[in-house]
Amino acid sequence: MNDILNLTIRQLREMLKKKEISSMELTNYYLGRIRKYDGEILSYLRTTEDHALKMAGQADERISRGEDAPLLGIPLGMKDILCTKGIETTCASNILKGFVPPYDATVIKRLKEAGFVHLGKLNMDEFAMGSSTENSAFQTTKNPWDTTRIPGGSSGGSAAAVASGLCAGALGTDTGGSIRQPASLCGVVGIKPTYGRVSRYGLVAFASSLDQIGTFTRSISDCATMLGVIAGHDPMDSTSITAPVEDYHSFLGKDIKGLKIGIPAEYIIEGMEPDVKRNFEESLQVFKDQGAELVDVTLPHTQYAVATYYIIGTAEASSNLARYDGVKYGLRERGKDIIDMYKKTRFKGFGKEVKRRIILGTYVLSSGYYDAYYRKAGKVRTLIRQDFDNAFRLCDMIATPVSPSTAFKAGERLEDPLTMYLSDIFTIPVNLAGLPGISIPGGFDSQGLPIGLQIIGKPLDEGRILQAAYVFESEKKVRVIPDKYRS
């Protein structure tokens, strides 16, 4: 059964079709692994065992009737920021403890139509605000490669569960790097699609102009499978793109001869760990050996990206989180009047980092400061997008590191939010520009910790970045599950 961890979703689907394994057996296999290993990793906030077994039974019935669907019978995990009908959704926050959505997010609906089995809800930084999963109100997820270290964030539970083989794949969200950074630190594949490519309906909002749902997998093939299911227009999301979804699998296996890959000088920064720099240079050589052409590009406004993000992101967060007032849903604390109830509810319900961002966001939107901060940040965002437009005139895609460092020790940066924020320095510009970006396993540092490689594409060019990622994966053959979790 342990060969299952090395099989792609497509290979598992073939086994299910041929009745070599049932979805019930596959689901029990993963539930058994969760029971065995998740006490140490702490990637799941809650498993939905009864629900999963019921879905597996339904999948087996559909298979016996000769039905086919891309994820029929495949067990997956979901970040706890996606609304799941009848299943508690907390965003890892006390303020939403006990909240059971009456509907499914569009991505969950699409996964159900494709036949997936829902194993449970995965841990995260509260309201997706963080880079280490230490901001969860309930538990701190560990990195499977070294359990004294963080798995990245905010989708740390999703990345750790996929890396330790506790699900076949998972969904996460990426507002400033929350899929790509944990994918890099946990050594798995994580894609943030073009803004609007995947519906945000039913995603609990953090920063609406930046949030995007994406996937965590152990292979590029699985990434293509899952992205193909969740992508596409949704009339329930006003920002949803109407362009048809490409067959992402059709890009896999094509060579990259003559492909121009841009290398921005601004992403080789002071303070980057030497192993990360060395690995990035080795990774570029792989592309070169396969016939790609490396070209120098410039993204001159990169230095302003983090500041711009923390104005726009916090402003949108303060607006979106105003709805948690103790009246409509979630936590309610008693007060002597309604204002006192609001104060007590929000004080007790929100964690330190969420409060910090609400305060920052309220400040930059306040009278007298709006033009100085929020309006100016919007203008700089346009300049960052123009940098990418100009760079893409010279190249087909851009390659960069994902993070300037590998996974740091738990607790190391908790009291230093600025250093924590800078861990997303290479991922944030992609969100500001609304572009697709993927993190793929690039190798390991001298301590055996994973290092990711980021490929950034033009808008709606997910197929092309998967093409390059697949060539890299085929050549580099990086191990994606620690030996400890292979048994």
**Residues designated as active site:** 79, 154, 178
Which residue do the tokens 């690039």 mark? Answer: 442
Distance CA 218, CA 216 (A): 7
Distance CA 79, CA 130 (A): 14
Q: Are strands 75-79 and 170-174 parallel, antiparallel or unpaired?
A: parallel
DSSP secondary structure, 25-84, as one string: HHHHHHHHHHHHHHHHH--EEEE-HHHHHHHHHHHHHHHHTT---TTTT-EEEEETTB-B
* DSSP-derived secondary structure letter, 372: I
Which residues have CB under 8 Å from 430's CB, separation 6+? 177, 180, 192, 436, 437, 454, 456
Distance CA 186, CA 303 (A): 26
What type of residue sits at position 215?
T
Q: How many CB atoms lie within 10 A of CB 372?
A: 11
Backbone angles phi and psi of 213, in degrees to 5: -90, 140
Which residue do the tokens 């994918």 mark? Answer: 183
Distance CA 80, CA 69 (A): 25
Distance CA 85, CA 68 (A): 24
Q: Are strands 293-297 and 260-264 parallel, antiparallel or unpaired?
A: parallel
On whether the CB atoms of residues 45 and 90 are closer than 8 A, the answer is yes
Distance CA 370, CA 373 (A): 5
Q: What is the 3-state secondary structure (H, E, C) of 116-182?
A: CEEEEEECCCHHHCCCCCCCCCCCCCCECCECCECCCCCCHHHHHHHHCCCCCCEEEEECCCCCHHH
Distance CA 324, CA 342 (A): 9
Backbone angles phi and psi of 486, in degrees to 5: -90, -15
